[in-house]
Amino acid sequence: MNRKIAIIGGGISGVTSAIKLAKNKHNEIHLYEKRSYLLKGPPYCHLHAGGILYPEISIKDAQELLDNSLEFANYFRDCLEYRPTIVAYRSNSSYSPSELLFKCKANKINYQFRNIRVIGNVENFYAFYTKEDMIHYKIYGILPHSDDIGRKYHDSYVIHFCKLLDDINSIKYPFVSVCEPGINQEKVEEKLLNELNQYHNIKVFTNKSVTLNELNNYNTIVNASGHNIFENECQEKYEFKSSWIIKSSLIADNLPEIAIIGERETENGMIQLTPINKGVFQIHCMRKDSTIIDTYTSCRKISLSKDEIEKRGNVAIREISKLFSILILSKVKDACYGLQRIPYDSKSKRISQIKYTYKDDKQLIDIQTLKACSVISTVNKMRVV
């Protein structure tokens, strides 16, 4: 007997869920998306391998995120940008680099015992750099020799960071370069759409908003919409965030991703620079007048005006130029924005989960994918009964 399954939401969680469930030929799947297109949601630019970028994330959660990242990387091998990510703490932040090093060491051990080596050799997992290394580069134009095997891989990227950083006292030491590849979102979405089209038991409905009352003829309803449509437990919040796409032709092609971290939602919030294409970059500026736009107690349709994109994007350019002055003449080209669900009432939580409930003999599955790198792990745990 065929099982009729409705999936609400055509983002990365909904499309991946449809593909997973369609592998069972007895499942008849209807995917509903309120927009005129699938995917192309909020940006996900890197793996967040183990949550190394966020000081607030616990070691336990960081290791779970590393496992999620490895599953994602294994599934989307051809969609990754194999460059490291440099993580440094702002000099005026309260964060200690020793905690960053400890997290890197713990995740390296975790990676060593995993069968998946898709993000690089264990020896290259991370390398750390001291203030003396930075001074040496500023004087001689090269990094000092090191017997650390991992440095041979990371040095070729780190030298560009050393060149760009104007004030060596603007960050704490040591900083790290870690194997946290970038995600090519366009390639990920192309792969998912190609897979989706291979299954004849999936039917897609775009420009279609549905309510639970309209889905009475389904056995299972999967909520992949990114908001709490089942209205269970406490009221959730939603954070509206955006990244800014800028253009600058003055930076080297093999630049790593760079995250300079400070306290979130303050004037010293994280600044993150992600290479997208030649001369095109994505910036997160975790301030309330830039990337972090607002928090809502209900899901709603929100957009940004051209003037707002220009204004908030220029704040990001201004702030990142305080660290890397070469970017001062950059121009805002576009924005990637959307609502992010906060089901734990904590903006620092990043662990995804699935919740199951039953109503009128229907199985209700609530997928809470907080980071794109967790989508494969989360969807693989889904059980339809």
Average pLDDT over residues 3-22: 96
pLDDT, tens only, 221-248: 999 988 878 765 556 788 899 999 999 8
Tokens encoding 8:
């609400």
The Cα 345–Cα 238 span in angstroms is 9
pLDDT at position 325, please? Answer: 95
* Separation CA 58–CA 72 (nearest Å): 21
Whole-number pLDDT of residue 234: 57
Q: pLDDT by residue (tens digit) across 56-108? A: 888 889 999 999 999 999 999 999 988 999 999 999 999 999 999 999 999 99
The answer on pLDDT for 249 being more than 60 is yes
Phi-psi region of 345 (alpha: psi -120 to 50; beta: other; left: phi over 0): left
Say which residues have a Cβ less than 8 Å from residue 376's Cβ, sequence separation at least 6.
16, 68, 71, 72, 74, 75
Topology adopted by domain 3-42+185-234+352-380: Rossmann fold (3.40.50)
Q: Scanning the structure block, which residue is given the tokens 């990244």?
A: 243
> Per-residue pLDDT for 301 more than 80?
no
307: exposed, middle or buried (Cβ count in 10 Å: 0-12, 13-18, 19+): exposed
More reliable by pLDDT, 132 or 44: 132
* H-type alpha helices, 76-184: 97-112, 131-140, 149-164
Written out in words, the top-level CATH class of the domain with range 51-184+237-342 is alpha beta
Cβ atoms of 19 and 196 closer than 8 Å: yes
Judged by DSSP in three states, 378 sits in helix
Radius of gyration of the chain from its Cα atoms, rounded to whole angstroms: 22
DSSP string, 167-224: -GGGB-SSEEEE---EE-HHHHHHHHHHHHTT-TTEEEE-S----GGGGTT-SEEEE-
- Could you tell me which of 76, 57, 58 has the C-alpha nearest to residue 182? 76
Residues in the chain: 385
DSSP H or E segment with residue 328: none
Write down the pLDDT at residue 298.
Answer: 77
The per-residue pLDDT for 85 is 94
- Residue 54's pLDDT band, with cuts at 50, 70 and 90, is confident
Q: What percent of the chain has pLDDT over 90?
A: 66
Give one word for 306, left, alpha or beta, with left for phi > 0 and alpha for psi -120 to 50: alpha
Closest C-alpha among 262, 224, 324 to residue 12: 224
Q: For residue 273, how far is the Cα from the chain centroid?
A: 13
Q: Which tens digits make up the pLDDT trace of 336-349? A: 888 888 877 777 77
Convert the pLDDT of each residue in 152-163 to its tens digit: 999 999 999 999
- Mean per-residue pLDDT over the chain, rounded: 91
Torsional sign, CA 163, 164, 167, 169: negative
Residue ranges per domain, the chain? Answer: 3-42+185-234+352-380, 51-184+237-342
Chain centroid, CA 349 distance in Å: 13
Alpha carbon 220 to its chain centroid, in Å, reads: 29
Mean pLDDT in residue range 32-53: 82
d(C-alpha 363, C-alpha 102), whole Å: 42
What does each C-alpha distance from 64 to 70, 96, 178, 262, 317 come to in angstroms? 10, 22, 17, 23, 33
User: What are 167-184's pLDDT values in tens digits?
Assistant: 999 999 999 999 988 898
pLDDT for 315 beyond 90: yes
Within 13 Å of residue 352, how many CA atoms lie on the same side as its CB?
26
The helix or strand, by DSSP H or E, that contains position 67, with its residue range, turns out to be: helix 59-75
Q: Do domains 3-42+185-234+352-380 and 51-184+237-342 have the same CATH topology?
A: no
**Does the pLDDT at position 164 exceed 60?**
yes
pTM: 0.89
What was the pLDDT predicted at 96? 95
Cis ω before 174 (30° cut-off from 0): yes
> CA 229, CA 231: separation in Å to the nearest integer?
5
| Integer Cα distance of 75 and 146 in angstroms | 35
Q: What is the arithmetic mean of pLDDT over 133-156?
A: 93
At residue 49, the pLDDT reads 67
